[in-house]
Amino acid sequence: MDLTRRAVAMGGMGLLASASFSSVHAFESPLIDPIEAADEFWLAVEAYIYGYPLVTMEVTRRVVTNVEKPEGSKGPMGHIIKLREYPDASFKDVTAPNADTLYTTAFINVEEQPWVLSIPDMKDRYFLFPMLDGWTTVFQVPGKRTTGDGAQSYAITGPGWQGQLPDGVTEYRSATNLIWILGRIYCDGTPEDYAAVHALQDQCKLVPLSAYGKEWTPPPGKVDPAIDMKTAVREQVNRMDAVEYFTLLSELMKANPPTAADAETVAKFAQIGIVPGQAFDKAKLDAAFVKRIPEFAFHRIMLHFKFSDGDIKDINGWGYTTVTGVYGTNYLQRALITAIGLGANRPQDAVYPTSLKSKDGLIARAYNGANKYVLTFPKGQLPPVRGFWSITMYNEQYFFVENPINRYSISARQNPKTNPDGSTDIYIQHESPGADKETNWLPAPNDKFILMMRLYWPDDSPPSILDGSWVIPAVKKAG
């Protein structure tokens, strides 16, 4: 990524002229004249975008692990966090929750020694345990797609570790010492299946290498009262000024170094006081830019959602990307996914088309529960997956919608009815479409809403969303 003065200036003009996004993608016009700023400013914007994933991961880690013991979606470093049931409409901890998989997650630091993750025999159940390094790269994905469903153990090692591993333990080397394990296990949500998945979660083990094969209990966490546990992570990151941000970034890069592919880009940042392995030299950054750099840089990140040069697709009103999990030197895309979907999988594991508007012909209007909509899959053209698919209903803040049948998503597990011609209609509306159609009903609020489709383990043979040979149908107003 090379954000030249012209590239960022044109981006600033686009920001000023652009129509508003949804609440998740919203921004205001920049507070700086992009034409008049110095070259140092553009370099700082580039450094901000480059470092956005690492800083966000660290702030996320602080918030998630700042508890004495696992509770809900939080747990200390080295503890497995086990979500035991799907959230309901009262859940507001994170945006865009799912009602398809139970999360089994952990943050670890492998600077002192490797950690060993052991996964039980999942029999024929779909699961995946993606491992993200500090830069949000999914560096390994043990799971049904990649490693099968038998019992398996992995030693997660850091960039400088050397040593011997026990027999039967496979090494997964991370480029950073900060690791986020984001395990997901499929569950149909019934009491019986909850119990079955809970048993599997309880058999998952995470221990430091020195404790492998021994009885070991993770120590309780230490709560830091200085950590903000109420403000959203993205807001905490975005309100840092450039000195605070670059100071943290430089400190994090000591244990989480840039990759070899980043070397040319990172070398330029020395001009503004950022050198891997060293503390940030704020004297090299113009004080006039300290507050403006984060504002402009985040605007530039979000602009990539609308002008992505092909990274983001818009098909029949559904926006999605297949550039997730592994980014190379595509730092803008990496920062955007961090901002709107931290923890995203590789596309081979999941694709998440999202729709904010109904598109009939040339006109697109925001969804509203005052209307009735239908999504029709032609015969034989349900979402092509080897894992599962679902369509989730959110309000405009990306939270579940309260409804009389407590249904927050619809998928194959509802066994949707087919029409006489073999097609399948999904009814998206506030009121029930009638008892004979309720199996195919995705309840909506009585005001604005957002739809998200999840395709886990998308089929890679045509028709496939991965190569564009399967086209998502448009959601249309009914009647």
Q: Which of 13-17, 213-217, 326-330 has the lowest mean pLDDT?
A: 13-17
What confidence category does residue 363 fall into, taking pLDDT thresholds of 50, 70 and 90? confident
Average pLDDT over residues 247-267: 97
Quick one: pLDDT at residue 46? Answer: 97
Residue 386: exposed, middle, or buried by beta-carbon count in 10 A (0-12, 13-18, 19+)? Answer: middle
Quick one: pLDDT at residue 151? Answer: 98
The token duo for 265 is 């880009």
Tell me how far apart the alpha carbons of residues 422 and 416 are, in angstroms, rounded to a whole number: 11
Tell me how far apart the alpha carbons of residues 224 and 245 are, in angstroms, rounded to a whole number: 20
- Encode burial over 308-343: b for 16+ CB neighbours within 10 A, e otherwise: beebbbebebbbbbbbbbebeebbbbbbbbbbbbbb
The residue type of 146 is T
pLDDT one-digit tens code per residue, 405-432: 999 999 999 999 999 999 999 999 999 9
Assess whether pLDDT exceeds 70 at residue 297: yes
Average pLDDT over residues 441-469: 97
CB atoms within 10 A of CB 51: 25
Beta strands 313-315 and 318-320 are: antiparallel
Assess whether pLDDT exceeds 50 at residue 304: yes
Beta strands 205-208 and 115-119 are: antiparallel
Tell me how far apart the alpha carbons of residues 269 and 263 are, in angstroms, rounded to a whole number: 10
Assess whether pLDDT exceeds 80 at residue 9: no
Assess whether pLDDT exceeds 70 at residue 20: no
Assess whether pLDDT exceeds 90 at residue 397: no
Tell me how far apart the alpha carbons of residues 188 and 339 are, in angstroms, rounded to a whole number: 29
Say what the pTM is: 0.90
CB atoms within 10 A of CB 403: 17
pLDDT one-digit tens code per residue, 53-82: 999 999 999 999 999 999 989 999 999 999
72: alpha, beta or left, given left = phi > 0 and alpha = psi -120 to 50? left
Contact 221, 246 (CB under 8 A): no
Quick one: pLDDT at residue 361? Answer: 63
Domains of the chain: 5-60+231-310 (no CATH), 67-211 (2.60.40.1610), 353-477 (2.60.120.1600)
Omega prior to 463 cis, within 30 of 0: yes
> What dihedral do alpha carbons 32, 35, 40, 46 form, nearest 10°?
80
Average pLDDT over residues 306-313: 92
Q: What are the CA-CA distances from residue 82 to residues 67, 106, 201, 204 (Å)?
A: 14, 9, 7, 10
Q: Which residues pair with 104 in a beta bridge?
A: 82, 183
Whose tokens are 């546990």? That residue is 229
Quick one: pLDDT at residue 94? Answer: 75
As a whole number, the mean pLDDT across the chain is: 91
Assess whether pLDDT exceeds 70 at residue 176: yes
Assess whether pLDDT exceeds 60 at residue 15: no
- Encode burial over 193-205: b for 16+ CB neighbours within 10 A, e otherwise: ebebbbebbeebe
The more confident residue out of 396 and 363 is 396
Quick one: pLDDT at residue 261? Answer: 96
Assess whether pLDDT exceeds 80 at residue 108: yes
Average pLDDT over residues 163-175: 97
Tell me how far apart the alpha carbons of residues 43 and 291 are, in angstroms, rounded to a whole number: 15
What confidence category does residue 26 fall into, taking pLDDT thresholds of 50, 70 and 90? very low
Quick one: pLDDT at residue 37? Answer: 55
pLDDT one-digit tens code per residue, 211-245: 999 999 999 999 999 999 999 899 999 999 999 99
Residues ≥6 apart with Cβ < 8 Å to 163: 114, 209
Assess whether pLDDT exceeds 50 at residue 444: yes
Assess whether pLDDT exceeds 90 at residue 1: no
Average pLDDT over residues 286-312: 93
Tell me how far apart the alpha carbons of residues 49 and 112 are, in angstroms, rounded to a whole number: 29
